[in-house]
């Protein structure tokens, strides 16, 4: 009986460039093998320019797995064309077994998975392939990290306002003014679309909205890239950049008719958690819980913008002082407490390694492996988040400087636009229980 076979070919972009590995060469080799062994090739599945790191990133392989029941055999040239991921490889074996279909690497005679020795060799080779893939990834990451630390450019793609000179980013004064103007205009009008319109008009450009959005968020403009805060010369100062991010994060838009609402997007209801909306009537701006209108909230009180502004200005220093004390207490506790996450992290990593060995030696089933793996990785994720929180050093110097300044005089001298910007950059949000009771969360 003539076997119905499918041929599978894969090559990554890097392999094509570095080694000249060709899809056509693989196809010819596989077709010749099928012909020599009197097999009928019923389909071809090609993943070109794709890594073998995981199944889900290879669309042709996924399609082939859906059609396994119509095949007797799948052939490919070498095992590393098929998989370089241990867990994926063993899942593939199970999928093929359930479909009563076999697979074969035609250039490797010991790839017969129907025997214990064959499965052992298969697992061994996939383990070696995965190790090589991970080691290559580590080498590339190390090389990239070194280049970043040295301030060397990694690609030919760089943002507006910069150019490459001797493999380093330097300021291109011919275009840097466009970036400076973009930040300046956005801080003035709080609208990306209005900023885009004005930028295109002033500089006779055709910049897209997405390009402006990326420009305003790009840390390269303060000289920072990855973990190097001195990667290149800064075009924008840090204070301007941070103010811009605060406004972007609040998705601030100036309302029509020149009206400016000082606390829009900042107030949350302490009863139902919904945001407060604002209405303007008879010269007054009034904030109400939007959950009340939707029948989700029993809170019916309104807050006058004038009264809220007076309350916050009068109590600003007291609220800020309490916040600074709380942060300093947290820092003091963190310094005296010996972190245990290092030993816990190492212990879980060892458990994951042992679990992998048990699965590869067929001492546990795939379902048990997945269950325990998910449990351990969840624990590891929690420990690493705790580690990140404990290792974060919070800088409260600027907040202390603000405490020592004459905030009320400074605030009264601002325009209404700048007053709004002040509140947005000072607070993350304000939880309102009643006018006399609210929790203020400062930006930090």
Compute CA distances 384 → 170, 331, 337, 348, 370, whole Å: 36, 19, 17, 11, 21
Residue 285 phi, psi dihedral angles, 5° rounding? -105, 125
Kindly provide the residue ranges of all beta strands, DSSP E only, lying in 26-172, ordered along the sequence. 40-48, 73-76, 102-105, 162-165, 168-171
Q: How many CA atoms lie within 13 A of 32 on its CB side?
A: 9
CA dihedral for 136, 139, 145, 147, sign (positive or negative): negative
Q: Could you tell me which residues are beta bridge partners of residue 228?
A: 225
In the set 12, 211, 304, 386, the catalytic residue is 12
Selection from 67, 78, 91 nearest residue 10 by Cα: 78
Compute CA distances 178 → 209, 212, 329, whole Å: 15, 11, 44
Chain-centre distance of CA 87, in angstroms?
Answer: 24
Selection from 443, 381, 407 nearest residue 309 by Cα: 407
Distance CA 88, CA 360 (A): 12
Residue 366 near residue 94 (C-beta atoms within 8 A):
yes
Annotated active-site residue 264? The verdict is no
Distance CA 95, CA 61 (A): 12
Distance CA 65, CA 84 (A): 17
Distance CA 377, CA 348 (A): 8
Distance CA 139, CA 27 (A): 31
* Cβ atoms within 10 Å of 286's Cβ, excluding its own: 16
Distance CA 299, CA 193 (A): 36
Residues 6+ apart with CB under 8 A from 11: 21, 22, 23, 26, 47, 48, 49, 50, 81
Distance CA 350, CA 319 (A): 47
Q: Specify the DSSP class assigned to residue 225.
A: B
Residues 6+ apart with CB under 8 A from 68: 74, 95, 96, 99, 101
Q: Which residues are catalytic?
A: 12
């Amino acid at each position: 009986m003539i076997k119905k076979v499918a041929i599978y070919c894969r090559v990554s972009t890097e392999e094509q460039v570095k080694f000249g590995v060709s899809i056509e060469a693989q196809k010819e080799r596989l077709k010749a093998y099928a012909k020599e062994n009197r097999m009928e090739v019923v389909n071809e599945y090609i993943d070109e320019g794709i890594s073998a790191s995981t199944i889900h990133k290879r669309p042709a392989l996924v399609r082939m797995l859906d059609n396994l029941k119509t095949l007797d055999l799948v052939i490919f040239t070498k095992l590393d064309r098929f998989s370089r991921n241990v867990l994926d490889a063993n899942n593939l074996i199970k999928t093929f077994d359930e479909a009563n279909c076999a697979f074969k690497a035609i250039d490797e005679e010991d790839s017969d998975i129907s025997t214990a020795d064959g499965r052992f060799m298969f697992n061994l080779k996939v383990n070696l392939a995965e190790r090589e893939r991970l080691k290559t990834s580590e080498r590339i990451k190390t090389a990239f990290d070194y280049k970043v630390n040295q301030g060397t450019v990694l690609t030919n793609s760089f943002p507006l306002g910069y150019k490459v000179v001797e493999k380093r980013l330097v300021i291109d004064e011919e275009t840097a003014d466009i970036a400076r103007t973009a930040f300046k205009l956005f801080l003035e009008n709080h609208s990306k679309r209005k900023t885009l319109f004005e930028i295109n008009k002033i500089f006779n450009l055709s910049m897209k909205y997405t390009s402006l959005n990326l420009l305003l968020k790009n840390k390269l403009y303060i000289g920072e890239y990855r973990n190097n805060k001195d990667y290149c010369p800064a075009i924008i100062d840090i204070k301007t950049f941070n103010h811009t991010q605060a406004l972007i994060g609040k998705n601030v838009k100036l309302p029509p008719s020149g009206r400016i609402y000082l606390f829009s997007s900042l107030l949350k209801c302490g009863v139902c958690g919904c945001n407060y909306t604002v209405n303007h009537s008879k010269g007054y701006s009034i904030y109400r819980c939007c959950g009340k209108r939707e029948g989700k909230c029993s809170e019916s009180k309104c807050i006058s913008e004038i009264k809220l502004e007076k309350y916050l200005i009068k109590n600003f220093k007291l609220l800020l002082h309490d916040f600074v004390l709380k942060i300093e207490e947290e820092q003091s506790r963190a310094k005296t407490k010996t972190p245990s996450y290092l030993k816990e992290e190492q212990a879980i990593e060892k458990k994951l390694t042992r679990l992998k060995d048990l699965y590869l030696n067929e001492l546990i089933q795939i379902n048990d492996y997945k269950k325990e793996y998910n449990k351990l990785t969840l624990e590891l994720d929690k420990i690493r988040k705790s580690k990140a929180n404990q290792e974060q050093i919070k800088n409260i110097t600027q907040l202390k400087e603000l405490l020592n300044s004459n905030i009320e005089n400074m605030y009264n001298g601002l325009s209404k636009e700048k007053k709004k910007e002040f509140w947005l950059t000072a607070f993350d949000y304000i939880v309102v229980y009643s006018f006399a009771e609210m929790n203020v969360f400062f930006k930090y």
